[in-house]
Amino acid sequence: MQGNGFKLGVIAAFFALTLYYLYPTIIWNLEQRQMSTFSEEERTQYEMDNAEKLSNLKENILSLGLDLQGGMHVTLEVGTPQLILELAGSNRDNELDEVVQLAQEVAEENDTDFIDEMQLEFERRDSDARLSRYYRSESQNITRRSTNDEIVAFLKIQRDAALDRAIEIIRTRVDRFGVTEPSIVKQGQSRIVVELPGVDDEERVRNLLKGTARLEFRTGADAQDFSNFRNRAIEFYNVEADSSDSLNLSGPSNALLERMSFIQTQSPYVFGYAMAEDTAAIMDLLSTSDIQRLMPRNTVVLWGSRSIGFEGGVEQFALYGIRDNAELTGEVIEEASIQFDPTTNVPEVSMGMNSEGARVWSRITGANIGKPIAIVLDGYVVSYPNVSTKITGGNSSITGLENVAEAEDLVNILLSGALPAPLRIMEERTVGATLGESSIQAGFRSVLFGLSIVAIFMIVYYRTGGGVADLALLLNIIFILGILAGFKATLTLPGMAGIVLTIGMAVDANVLIFDRIREEQRGGKTMKAAISAGYANAMSAIIDANVTTGFVALILMSFGVGPIKGFAVTLLAGIACSLFSAIVITRVVIDYLTRNKSEAVSFG
C-alpha cells in the first residue's frame, strides 16, 4: 500500500462528496415513503409543519426528467406575422395584411422562412416597391431609402430578439410557478420547446405559457353614442318573416336578439350579455362592414374575462364598449401583489405604477370621474370600475378573480413582463405519473440486469480481478449519480441508457488491463511487475477509447436537445467516473491484495 496514500485520500474525498450530494435525494425518498402511509389530512398537515425542510430537500435532490416523473412537453411558436404587422405601426395597410397572410400560408406549406416568403410575395406584386414605406428605425438606421434586403435583415433581427425575449419571460414565469428543473430551449427560428417535469395542471400551465400579458388601461366609450349604436345595430338585424310562406307563422327574427340578452338596468357602456358558446358568433355579426360604419368613432367592443351570474344559475359574459386606444400599458407597472377584499376575502391583484404611469393615471382618473375605465388583459376586460375620485398614487387593482392560484399566476405574468408577440401551442404532450413510474422501474431493471450480467461475466472470466472490477463498477454508478446531483442535472430515461452503456465501457478498461497483466505473467514476470506493466501498457488504449467517446458526448451535449442532451450528459459523467474507478480504484484494491509477496491475485 506504499505510495497509495494520496490515491486513498482522493477516493475517500470523492466518495464523501458523492454521499453529500446524494444525501438530500436519499432523505427525500425516505420522507416520501413515510408520507405515502399518511392519510390525506395527515399528509397535508405534515407538509405544512415541515414546509421549509421539504423545500430545501427538493431544491437539492437528483431531479428526474419528464419521462421519469411525468409532466408536460409543450412546443410554442412565436407569432412572427403578428409581430411583423405590429412593427409596421400606423403604416400598416390592407396590402401588407394580404402579403403577410399569403406569405404565412406559403411558409407553412413549404416549411420555409416566413420573412423571406413575405419579401418574395411583396416583390412579385411590384418589383419596384419598397418595404421601407412600412418600417422605420433610427437605432437600426432603417430609413425611407433602405433597400428591401436591409428591411428583411432588420425584421429578422427583430424576430430573433422577440424569440430571445419570449424565452426569458417564459423562464421567469416558470421559475415563479415553482417547477423543478424545467427545460426551456430554442428550436429553429421561431419555436420554443418547454418541458415541465412533475406538472399536472395542464390548463393552468397552458395559460401561463401563452398569456401575452398585454395589460392596457382604456377609457369607456361615450355613453350616449354607444347606447344609440346598440339600438341601431339591433334594428339592423331585424328581419321580417316571409309573408309568401304560409307555413311560416313566426314573427320578426333578429340574429342579435336570438343570441344576446339585455336588461333594463344594464350600464350604458354594456352592449349586452351572452352565453360563452355565442360570443364568437356575436363578434362576427358586429364585425361586418355595415355594423362597423354604425360604430362610434374610436370605439371597439370587448368581452369581459369573467362570466356574470343571473337568476336561475345562468352564466353570461358582458360585452363592453371602450375606446380603441390605450391610455396606459403594463410597462408602467412596477409592483404587483395579491390582496384580499376585507369584506368578502376574495383575492385581487394590487398594482403599483412608476412615476410616469402615476402621473398619467392621475390625469386619466381626474378627467373621468363618474365614468368607467377598463383594465384590459390580452384583449379581455378583467375589470371595469367607475372612477369615484382622482387617484394620485398610481395604484389600481384587478378584481373578479376566481381563486388565489389565478391571482398568483396574474401577478407572475405582470411581474415577468409582456411577451413581445403572441405564442401558439404547436405540440403538447402530457406524461402521466403512472407512466413515469413504470419508466423508472423499467430503467432500474435494465441497469440492474446489465450490471448483473457484466458482474457475473467478470467474476467467471477474471476470478478475483473480476470481483475487484465489479466493486469499482458499483462505485462508478454511485459516482455518476453523485455528479448528476452535484451539478443539478436531470436524470432522464435516455440518461439511464447512458448509465447502462457506461457499465460496459467501465469494465472494458479493466478487460484491457487484466489481459495485459496475463500476458506479462505468461512472459515470466512476477505478480507485482505484471500488474505494474499491465496498467502502464494498457493506458494508451484506454485513454484513446474514452477520449474519442468523450468528444462524441461533448458534441451531442452541445448541439443536442431534450433526450439526446440527457443521454450525452450522463455518458460524459460516466466516462469520467469509469476512468477513475477502473484506473485508480482497482489499482489501489489490487495493490492491497498483493501487499505481501506470497499473496497472488487470480486474473483468470
Q: Can you give the pLDDT at residue 188?
A: 82
- Residue that wins the pLDDT comparison between 280 and 406: 280
Enumerate residues 6+ apart whose C-beta is below 8 A from 444: 496
Which CATH number covers residue 413? Answer: 3.30.1360.200
**Do 464 and 576 fall within a single domain?**
yes
Q: Which three cell numbers stand for residue 297?
A: 368613432
Within a domain: 368: yes
Mean pLDDT within 389-394: 82
The band of 432, judged by pLDDT with boundaries at 50, 70 and 90, is low
> What's the pLDDT tens digit per position in 84-143?
888 887 788 888 889 999 999 998 888 888 999 999 998 888 888 888 888 888 777 888
> What's the pLDDT tens digit per position in 26-80?
998 888 888 888 887 788 788 888 878 887 887 788 877 777 777 788 888 888 8
- Counting Cβ atoms within 10 Å, is residue 169 exposed (0-12), middle (13-18) or buried (19+)? buried
CA dihedral 540, 545, 550, 551 (to 10 degrees): 90
Domain that holds residue 127: 74-211
* pLDDT of 175 above 50: yes
Q: Can you give the pLDDT at residue 251?
A: 47
The band of 271, judged by pLDDT with boundaries at 50, 70 and 90, is very high
Q: Can you give the pLDDT at residue 561?
A: 64
* pLDDT of 242 above 50: no
Q: What is the DSSP letter of 221?
A: P
**Do 492 and 405 fall within a single domain?**
no
The band of 604, judged by pLDDT with boundaries at 50, 70 and 90, is low
Mean pLDDT within 352-369: 88
Instruction: Tell me which amino acid residue 140 is.
Output: Q
- Last-in-domain residue among 355, 389, 418: 418
Q: Can you give the pLDDT at residue 240?
A: 44
The band of 243, judged by pLDDT with boundaries at 50, 70 and 90, is very low
**Do 104 and 169 fall within a single domain?**
yes
**Do 366 and 380 fall within a single domain?**
yes
Q: Which of 65, 68, 55 is nearest to 196 (CA)?
A: 65
**Do 126 and 207 fall within a single domain?**
yes
Are 545 and 504 in contact, with CB atoms under 8 Å apart? no
**Do 403 and 490 fall within a single domain?**
no
Q: Can you give the pLDDT at residue 62?
A: 83
Within a domain: 63: no
- The DSSP annotation for 588-599 comes to HHHHHHTSSTT-
Mean pLDDT of the chain: 82
* pLDDT of 320 above 90: yes
**Do 129 and 190 fall within a single domain?**
yes
**Do 222 and 312 fall within a single domain?**
yes
Q: Can you give the pLDDT at residue 261?
A: 87
**Do 224 and 203 fall within a single domain?**
no
Specify the 3-state DSSP secondary structure of 334: strand
Q: Can you give the pLDDT at residue 558?
A: 81
**Domain count of the chain?**
3
Within a domain: 35: no
Q: Which of 216, 252, 220 is nearest to 236 (CA)?
A: 252
Q: Can you give the pLDDT at residue 400?
A: 64
pTM exceeding the 0.75 threshold for the entire prediction: no
- The DSSP annotation for 500-515 comes to HHHHHHHHHHHHHHHH
> What's the pLDDT tens digit per position in 517-562?
888 888 888 888 888 888 888 888 888 888 888 898 888 888 776 6
Specify the 3-state DSSP secondary structure of 421: coil
Within a domain: 540: yes
Q: Which of 164, 148, 215 is nearest to 374 (CA)?
A: 215
Within a domain: 62: no
* pLDDT of 244 above 70: no
**Do 157 and 234 fall within a single domain?**
no
Q: Can you give the pLDDT at residue 28?
A: 87
Enumerate residues 6+ apart whose C-beta is below 8 A from 555: 568
Within a domain: 66: no
* pLDDT of 324 above 70: yes
Enumerate residues 6+ apart whose C-beta is below 8 A from 402: 306
Instruction: Tell me which amino acid residue 351 is.
Output: M
Within a domain: 288: yes
Within a domain: 300: yes
- Residue that wins the pLDDT comparison between 27 and 419: 27
**Do 231 and 296 fall within a single domain?**
yes
Which CATH number covers residue 568? Answer: 1.20.1640.10
- Last-in-domain residue among 418, 453, 476: 418
**Do 161 and 276 fall within a single domain?**
no
Query: d(Cα 454, Cα 506) in Å, to the nearest integer?
Result: 10
- Last-in-domain residue among 418, 443, 461: 418
Q: Can you give the pLDDT at residue 180?
A: 62
* pLDDT of 3 above 80: no
Q: Can you give the pLDDT at residue 433?
A: 55
